[in-house]
Amino acid sequence: MISMRESSSPPPKLRTENLTRVVSEKVIVDGVTMDVLTGEVMMVVGPSGSGKSSLLRLINRLDEPTAGTVYLDGRDYRELPPLELRRRVGMMMQMAYLFPGTVADNIRFGPRQRGVELPDETIERLLARVGLAGFSDRDVARLSGGEAQRVALARVLANEPEVILLDEPTSALDQDAKDAVENLLQEIIREECLTCIWVTHDLQQAARMADRVGVMEAGRLIRTGTPEEALHA
């Protein structure tokens, strides 16, 4: 169990405390404690099956921790209604999982859940932000993999999240699309000052994108630090 910040550091935006998940007596995530500051990009790396994605699912409360909890702005996330938590902590998955319909339908989805109908101009602005200006009425079935992931990003941004969780968002893309989406994510995360936890198996990507890196192995967070410290230990 590694605490990632000294006590004198500013309060974290998000803190996981002894976060643990056990399924059928198998420990999937094992006592992960970490702090992530506002606007910080925390890359989580580790081999397949090390618990990286499961950690993100716990933070978004798509799964229930067996032990431990998460604090968002110092508040235990179990005190928040799950729907509010998930609005504030957006998540982008490895696949886009777009809903059938148009690009605009997908972008409207999140805000609509809390009774907000996004105007066309906002949708156009979000689409322009992810490099898809004019795609509003496009059927999602006609999008390429890279375009679909951009729509998925715009859909998350439409909810105006404070924290964004990225679960290998470029791993299913070809090299060109991967580079483009990675650059776009970097740009948006910095400009919007989003707090970000990004899971990847690509160590070079982690080195390029990270403020800090956490290394997971067998469900445990075994090492953290700057990219140099964590990746070359």
Partner 1 sequence: MLSQFIHDPIQLTAAQALVAGGLALIMMVIAAWYGIHLEKEIVIALLRGLVQIVAVGSVLLLIFDGPIALGFLILAGMMLLAAKTAEKRAGDLPGAFRVAFWGIFIGAGSVIILMVLAGVIDTKLTALIPIGSMIVANSMNSVGLALDRFESEIKSHVGHIETALALGAEPKTAVRPYTQAAIKAGLIPRIDSLRSLGIVWIPGVMTGMLLGGSQPLQAALYQFVIMAVILTISGLASLVSALLMAGQIFTPADQLALGRGDS
71 touches partner 1 by CB under 8 A:
no
132 touches partner 1 by CB under 8 A:
no
Name the DSSP letter for residue 117: -
Residue among 3, 1, 14, 8 at smallest CA distance from 162: 14
Q: Which stretch binds partner 1 (CB under 8 A): 34-42, 97-105, 173-181, 220-228?
A: 97-105
Min separation Cβ 97 and partner 1, Å: 4
3-state secondary structure of 203: helix
3-state secondary structure of 202: coil
Applying the rule CB under 8 A, the residues between 159 and 178 that interact with partner 1 are 159
Q: Which of 31, 38, 61, 203 binds partner 1 (CB under 8 A)?
A: 61
Orientation of helix 145-157 relative to helix 120-129, angle to 10°: 130
Q: Which stretch binds partner 1 (CB under 8 A): 2-10, 153-161, 175-183, 205-213?
A: 153-161
Q: Which alpha helices (H) appear in the chain, and where do they start and end?
A: 52-59, 82-88, 103-113, 120-129, 145-157, 175-191, 203-209, 227-231
217 touches partner 1 by CB under 8 A:
no
Min separation Cβ 54 and partner 1, Å: 5
DSSP H or E stretch at residue 23: strand 14-23
Q: Which of 87, 129, 178, 220 binds partner 1 (CB under 8 A)?
A: 87
Q: Which of 155, 178, 212, 220 binds partner 1 (CB under 8 A)?
A: 155
84 touches partner 1 by CB under 8 A:
yes
Q: Could you give the dihedral angle defined by the CA atoms of residues 107, 108, 113 and 118, in that order, rounded to the nearest 10 degrees? A: 130
Name the DSSP letter for residue 46: -
Q: Which stretch binds partner 1 (CB under 8 A): 36-44, 152-160, 175-183, 208-216?
A: 152-160
Name the DSSP letter for residue 78: G
Min separation Cβ 132 and partner 1, Å: 18
16 touches partner 1 by CB under 8 A:
no
| CA angle, residues 35, 36, 39, in degrees to nearest 5 | 160
Rank residues 49 and 119 by Cβ distance to partner 1 and give the closer one.
Answer: 49
10 to each of 14, 16, 72, 193, how far by Cα in Å? 12, 16, 14, 16
Residue numbers at the binding site for partner 1 (CB under 8 A): 21, 23, 26, 28, 49, 53-54, 60-64, 78, 82-84, 86-87, 90-91, 93, 95, 97, 99-100, 109-110, 113-114, 155-156, 159
